[in-house]
Structure 1
Amino acid sequence: MDHQANGHGNHGEVHLPDPSIWPLVVGAAALFLGAALIYWSRVDDQTFAGPLLGAAIVSTLIAVFGWAYEDGQMRKKAAEGHHGGAKPTRYTQVVTFALAEGKLEQARKSGIIHDLESSDNQLRDLDGFQDLRIIVSPAATGPSQVLVETTWSDREGLATYEETRQTMLDIIARYTDEVVPGTVQVFDMEVIRDTKDVTFRFGTGAAFTIIAGLMLGGFMIGAGLNLFASESTGTGGGGEAPAPPANPFRVVATDNRFDKKEITAGPNAEITITLVNNGRAKHNIHFLDKKGGTTLAPGAEGEIIDGGTTTTVTFTTPGVGEYYFLCDLHPDQMNGTFRVVEGGPVGTGEPPAASPEASPAASPMAGN
C-alpha cells in the first residue's frame, strides 16, 4: 500500500455547483399553484384557494431571487478561480484500490462500496470535513477500479480524522475478499485550484424549515386576501343596500357535491327546487321519504341534466318531519337532509317583491 503526499494539478475549466434547494422550492410553488387552480375551478368553497395562491406566489418570488443570487455567487467564484484569485487552501485525501473480478455488485449492495457510502454520515460532524466522493470504473473483465476522495477545509481537520476516526483504510481493510491485494494507494494532496463551492450546505432540516416557512407565509397572505375580499363585499358606506338573502331552494351541483347539505321548507305546500349543474358530469336531485326509501311525492324526482344546464323540481311537501335528498348518479357523495318545519319557506324560495309606495303625485287627492 502506497501513501503519498502530492499537490493537485490544474482541474481544468470544470465548474461543479453544489446541490441547490431552489428547484425544490419551485416545485413546491407549482404544487401550491396547481392546488389553488383546482379549488378555483372545481370547488365552490374558496376558503383555501387564496392561501394556496399566496403560498405559490411567495415561494416563486423567493425561489427566483434566491436562485439568481446563488447562481451569481457561483459564477463569481468560478471567475475568481479562472483568474487565479486567492482562495483558502483546502486538502483532499484520495484512496484508490481495485475490486476483484465479479465483486462489483456485491460491493455496491452490501460490501465495501456500501460501507464507504454510509461513512459520509459519520464524517459530517467532523471539523473541516466538506465532501466525500466515490468513483467506480467498472470493467467487463478483470478488476474494477475504485477512487474514494474526501475533501477538508484545512490540514488539521484531515490530520484529526486520520488519528481519531475510522478512516477509509480501516473500512477497506475489512474486505480482503473483495479488494485485490497490493492495489490500495493513498494520496494526501493540497488543492491548488477548485471552483466547487462547498462553504454553504443545505441540510434536510434546513430545507424542510424553508419550505414550512414559505407555506406558512403564503397561507397568511392568502388568508389576509380572503379576509379583505370578504370585508369588501359586505355592506359598505355610501348607502349601499345589503345583498338579498340567498334562495333556500336553489341548489348548485358540482362534481361531485351539492352546495347544500340541508334544505328546509314549510309543510303541505307546493315548492319549486332549482338545480344548477355547474359540474361536467350529469346530475339530478331526488327527494325521498328516507335514505334508501321511495320518492317523497309526485314530481319530487328531478330529471338528470348535463353540466352547464338548469332544471326545476316542483312537488307538494308532506307534513312536518325529516326526509332525504340525493343525486341518483352519485348517491354516496351527493346527499343531504330535507326538513319540513312549521313556518318554513314555500313557493320558489324567492323573497316577495316589495310593493311600490304610493307617492303624493300619484294620489287622486293631489292638487285638491
Structure 2
Amino acid sequence: MSSSSAPENANVGCVGPASQEAGKSSACAGCPNQTTCASGAFNSPEAIAKKQHEASVLQNALSDVSHVVLVLSGKGGVGKSTVSTQIAQSLSSRGYSVGLLDVDICGPSIPRMAGVIGQTVHQSAQGWQPVYANPNLAVMSISFLLEEGDAAVVWRGPRKNGLIKQFLTETDWGDDGLDYLIVDTPPGTSDEHISIVQYLNDARPMMVNGSNNSGASGAIVVTTPEEMSMADVRKELNFCKKTDVPVLGIVENMSGLQVKVSDLQFRRDDASDCTDDVIALLREKCPEVLSMTASTDVFATSGLGPKGMAERFKCPYLGKLPLDKNLLKACEEGSSFVENYPESPAASPLNKIVDSLILALPVEDDIDDVAMEGSGDDT
C-alpha cells in the first residue's frame, strides 16, 4: 500500500484516494471503492477529518508498544500459531512484556496453545482487559468473546476488519505497555492482512520501527519445505514487499521428525509391540544409542527448499524447526516449550529463532545495556 489513507477494503497496491490516479490506476481494477475514489468522496474534508481521527486513536493505543511482529504464511497448517505462541512464551520467559494477538477470526487457536482457553475478557474504563497466560504474557482473541467455544464465526470482511481495529485500539495492554506484540494471522493475503497492515501504518508515527516504512516492525514467515507450501509462501513474501513490511526471516517448520531413540516405539512385522525388548537390548549391547536422536524427513524438500527461497527474496533464513512431540505437547498444555522441555530436539532451534528476533528488534532496555557495557572503564 503506497498510502496509509487507503480505504480499509482497498486492493493491495492502492494508490490512495488523494492520488490523481485514484479510481483509474491498474491497481484499482475490481476494487469495491473504485467509483467512490474516482468521484473524490474519500478526499472530502469530512472524510479526511475522520481518517485523521482514526489514525490518532490508533497512534495513542499503540504508543507504548515497542515492536509489532506479524507471523505470516500463505499456507494453512504450516504451524503459524505454534510459532507465534512459542515465540511469545519464550520472550515472556526471558522477562519481556509480550502481547499475543490472534487475528485469525474464523479459526482462533491461540487461546488453547497459550493455556487460556475458556477465559473471557472484561471491559473497563481503559478498554478490553486481555487474558494473562503468565505475568508477562497477555493474550487477546475473538475466542474470549464467543459464548460457546465451538461457535462458528461466519463474518464478511468489513465486520472482521472492524474487530481487528477494536483489538488494536481498545485492548489495554497495561500501564507499562509491551516490548513485543506478536500477531498471529490466518492463511493467505486477504482482508485481515491488508487491514492490519493499514492500521499499523496509520499508527506508525508513534511506533518504534527503526527506518522501515511500515507500521509493522517486521514479519516472520512460516513454511514447510515442500513446493505446495512454498508456492503460497512466495505470494506472502511478495505481499510483504508490496506493503513495505520488512521480513525478519523465514522459519522452515516441520523440517523432519526428530525423536530421542529412548522415546521411540518399535513394532514387529505382525504389528505387535516390542518396544521394551528393543530398549532392553540396546541398553545391554550399545547404551550410547539411547541418548542419540533419530530423525527422518516427513516432507520432501523442493529444490533448494526454504533456505533457497530466502536467498532468492534476499531475506534472512531463521533455520529449521523439526517436528517434536514435546513441542506439540507444550501447545496442547498451553505451556512454554523451551522452559518445560529444554533438552527436546526443537528447543535449541526455537531459542535461536527468538535470539534472531531480539537481535533484529532490540527493546530500549537492551540497547541501554549494550551502551553501558560499551562505555565501561577498562582501567
Per the normalisation by structure 2, the TM-score is 0.20
Please tell me whether Structure 1 or Structure 2 has the larger radius of gyration of its CA atoms: 1
Per the normalisation by structure 1, the TM-score is 0.20
Higher strand residue share: 1
